[in-house]
Amino acid sequence: EAGVTQFPSHSVIEKGQTVTLRCDPISGHDNLYWYRRVMGKEIKFLLHFVKESKQDESGMPNNRFLAERTGGTYSTLKVQPAELEDSGVYFCASSPLAPSGANVLTFGAGSRLTVL
């Protein structure tokens, strides 16, 4: 089966610009997660979708970040306007709907964002 697909793989933008990252989860996976790793720090949770609904967005850093999952398939994460501290690698992961905690996440390769 196809894995979790993310694009772009790398985006370089100027401070103040807008960037949209996309994640295509494994077909049939209702759970979709966004995580990110900023330079020198651990990977941190951003938010969790169940189908098209945001289940938990407690990790979103501020209102410059907007995540959507229209139709419950692919998801986008928009950063507007981008700041220098937003640079890092943004990971998407998906899993089937199963008893909480029992399932294993499949991660994408990540989208590297560089804000200059």
Partner 1 sequence: KQEVTQIPAALSVPEGENLVLNCSFTDSAIYNLQWFRQDPGKGLTSLLLIQSSQREQTSGRLNASLDKSSGRSTLYIAASQPGDSATYLCAVNKREAAGNKLTFGGGTRVLVKP
Q: Which residues bind partner 1 (CB under 8 A)?
A: 3-4, 31, 33, 35, 41-45, 48, 50, 55-56, 59, 91, 93, 95, 100-110
At residue 70, what are phi and psi to the nearest 5 degrees?
A: -65, 130
- What is the token pair recorded at 113? 């964002």
Beta bridge partners of 90: 36, 111
**Min CB(78)–partner 1 separation in Å:** 21
**Min CB(18)–partner 1 separation in Å:** 25
Which is nearer to partner 1, 3 or 16 (by Cβ)? 3
- Position 96: which residue type? P
